[in-house]
Structure 1
Amino acid sequence: MAFEKVTEIIKEQPSFTQLTDLAAERLGGKVLYATDDFFAEKENLLKPGRGIFKADKYTERGKWMDGWESRRKRTPGHDWCVVQLATSGRITGFDIDTNFFLGNHPPHASIEAVYIEDATNIPNWDDASIEWETILPKSPLDPGSQNFYQSTSFKIYSHIRLHIYPDGGVARLKVYGEVHKDWNALKPGEVVDLAAAINGGKAIACNDMFFSNMSNLLMPSRGVNMGDGWETKRNRTPNNRDWVIIKLAHPGYICKAVVDTCHFKGNYPDRCSIEGIMATGETNVVNSNEWQTILPEQKLHADEVHTFEKELLASPLISHVRINIFPDGGVSRLRLYGTINSSL
């Protein structure tokens, strides 16, 4: 396999960037250890976005930088850090983003990975007994750029180790892939949020996300602000409907829906409805005529958690849902609780 860096043009981002960022802090990813984070804290690596720059901001240790930055190395070796993924998964690709790191970026990086069921008792991440596997060989990094690379392995991993050679700063690290969840571990009839990103739910299509991304709907916890949700532009078309299609983490039967308009006050939707479909790999769900109503139109309110149970119609077995909002506006979170069909 060739390891050529993908051209760093936003419109030409590789398709794997549409997958879940398994390392994202907001999903539960953590930086457990770094050999050095003298100039900028290791925790910045997993924050949302690409990092920012403040020209006149300094700390007692030097220039403030929005990323992970080690000091200039004056001894043999190189720096590295360990990331615990938010959930174990199959890794497809990486974005090692050196945004705003220009004269201080690392010239090269590599990534190793391992699956550890319980890492709480590991006292030393440099322990030779940890069976790290290289999934990105030592590869060049451009300054101030998104550096996209594919993983060399599609095995299931829980932790990665990012090496930078020999030192320097990385603004963000994104680890794109597919969530792995052991559905056989569920008890019969156990209710789970089938839309949650942490379980493998994914927003796959929408008609509009002008102000904020559809994937925010499936994040853990409540939204932190109005930007942490899905918001469409103001639509002037009579009887407009905006929508998002979500592929459930596992086909199942929905028994409770939660629509949260947290922080959306002057711009919440007037109403919402939810539809479902059972789709095979060949089904074009966007244009399908097979959608069935699960939740008829319901009135929504500003900055409120709306829980629908008795309002739901009997749910067929479904693999995808479509939430519709009327006429436009913003929703912070969507929860779809249900049971799975264990035969699938």
Structure 2
Amino acid sequence: MDVTEETPAFANLLDLASARIGAAALEASDEFFAPKENLLKPGRGIFIPDKYTDHGKWMDGWETRRRRTPGHDWCVIRLGYPGTIRGVDIDTNHFVGNYPERASVDAASGRLDAAPDNLEWHQLLAPVELGPSCRNLFTIDDDRRWTHLRLNIYPDGGVARFRAYGYAVPQRNLSPGDLVDLACAENGGVAVLCSDQCFGSMNNMLMPYRPANMGDGWETRRRRGPGFDWAVVSLGEPGHLKYVEVDTTHFKGNYPGRCSVEACLAEGESREGFRPDSCSWTEIVSEHSLQADSNHRFDLEPRHQGPFTHVRLNIFPDGGVARFRVFGYPATKEKMADADDDRRAE
């Protein structure tokens, strides 16, 4: 994880513009030196000094030719999941004398198969200055649901990677009778806090597809002192939980020795401002031993089924988890109101 103490909190959220969840670069004004698809790849891009193509220097990003006429370049991206955007990262890694001076971002909401020209665009980020070979991180204050983004660069140049961090907003409403993975990113789940994510993002655990390798999970650094590691997941919908799965696929010499799971009801609290000490946690899975490279299912007792809004996975003392799944039924408004009344009466 290329995250420092100065990195804003939104950069720990789900990247809705990641190719691995289905995001796609649909159109670009120009891609003479390097293709638009590179924008959505994992990592920050690499640089190979002596690599050239018929068009010039090979670059691991999207790079347009030098503009000799008025105007600017742009690239249209369809998000992997429709959702709300909390921040963007316009990463110019390795672009030094050829990065854009400024950039802006527009957003649209429409059919996923809509042609970009048929979408109604709104400015999400006004033109901002960019720096060379660095992450250019910008906060977005907007609660609307978007399906497409348009990255504008002024007047031309190269961008290594583009990230759009936020929350997925499912296209379908989950009904109380649906047994679904409420923690899955596809259903609106997002990991909001963790003790550490040195080797792998906490949100990797919530991907709907099978893990490709050890780097496609959540992994913490080796703990040299007392304590344990943990990650908090905000469920896509408040729900009554049925069972959870802790999957250590690909983690063989670095899987956690044990795990436990807690849950809480924090209705009404914003995801960004959630504080683990602001609610009362219920242990729904007591400490259990884990095995290497295995999926572990834990069925929940009726008294531990909620409704809940957040779940905390604790791992002892450290290590890696490929996937964390929380299966349950979305709670009705009536059930949530009853639970809230019970909580207030305590």
Opposite residue 40 of structure 1, the aligned amino acid is A
Size of the alignment, in residue pairs? Answer: 329
Query: Could you tell me whether the CA contact under 8 Å between 1:259 and 1:334 is conserved in 2?
Result: yes
- What's the TM-score once normalised by structure 2's chain length? 0.84
Aligned to 2:305: 315
Letter in 1 for 2:329: T
Amino acid at match of 1:87: Y
Say whether 1:120 aligns with 2:108: no
Q: Deviations over 1:21-63 (max 9, x none)?
A: 2212233321111222222221111223322222233334322
Amino acid at match of 1:64: W
Answer 1 or 2: which has greater helix percent. 2
1:249 equivalent to 2:236? Answer yes
Tell me the secondary structure at the aligned position of residue 34 of structure 2.
coil
The 8 Å contact of residues 136 and 152 in structure 1, kept in 2 or not, is answered as no
Amino acid at match of 2:264: I
**% identity of equivalent residues:** 50
> Matched residues in 2 for 1:167 and 1:24: separation?
23
Q: Where does residue 229 of structure 1 map in the other structure? A: 217
Separation in 2 of the partners of 1:26 and 1:293? Answer: 33
1:259 aligns with 2:246: yes
1:152: Cα distance to partner? 6.5
Q: Secondary structure at the match of 1:251?
A: strand
Distance in 2, matches of 1:139 and 1:237, equals: 43
Q: Distance in 2 between matches of 1:15 and 1:289?
A: 21
Change (3 A) 1:148 1:207: closer
Contact 2:89 2:137 in 1 (8 A): yes
Contact 1:25–1:47 (8 Å) recurs in 2: yes
Residue from 290, 293, 305 that aligns with 1:303: 293
**Cα distance change of structure 1 residues 93 and 214 upon mapping to structure 2, 3 Å threshold:** closer
Aligned match for 1:198, one of 172, 180, 186:
186
Give the distance between the partners of 1:310 and 1:18, measured in 2 at CA: 29
Root-mean-square deviation (Å): 2.8
SS of the equivalent of 1:138 reads strand
Please tell me whether the aligned partners of residues 21 and 177 of structure 1 are also in contact (alpha carbons under 8 angstroms): yes
- Residue type at the aligned position of 2:11: T
Whole-angstrom CA distance in 2 between matches of 1:119 and 1:182: 11
Matched residue, 1:335: 325
**How far apart in 1 are the matches of 2:275 and 2:98?**
47
Deviation of the 1:115 alpha carbon: 0.6
Report the alpha carbon displacement of residue 146 of structure 1 after superposing the two structures with TM: 2.2
Deviation of the 1:74 alpha carbon: 4.2
Of 35, 42, 53, the residue aligned with 1:59 is 53
**Residue matched to 2:153:** 164
Partner of 1:266, secondary structure, is: coil
State the distance in 2 between where 1:178 and 1:153 align. 12
Whether the aligned pair in 1 keeps the contact of 2:14 and 2:203 (CA below 8 Å) is: no
Residues 37 and 330 (structure 1), Cα distance of their counterparts in 2 relative to 1, 3 Å cut: same
Supply the distance in 2 between the matched residues of 1:16 and 1:197 (Cα, whole angstroms): 15
The residue type paired with residue 178 of structure 1 is: Y
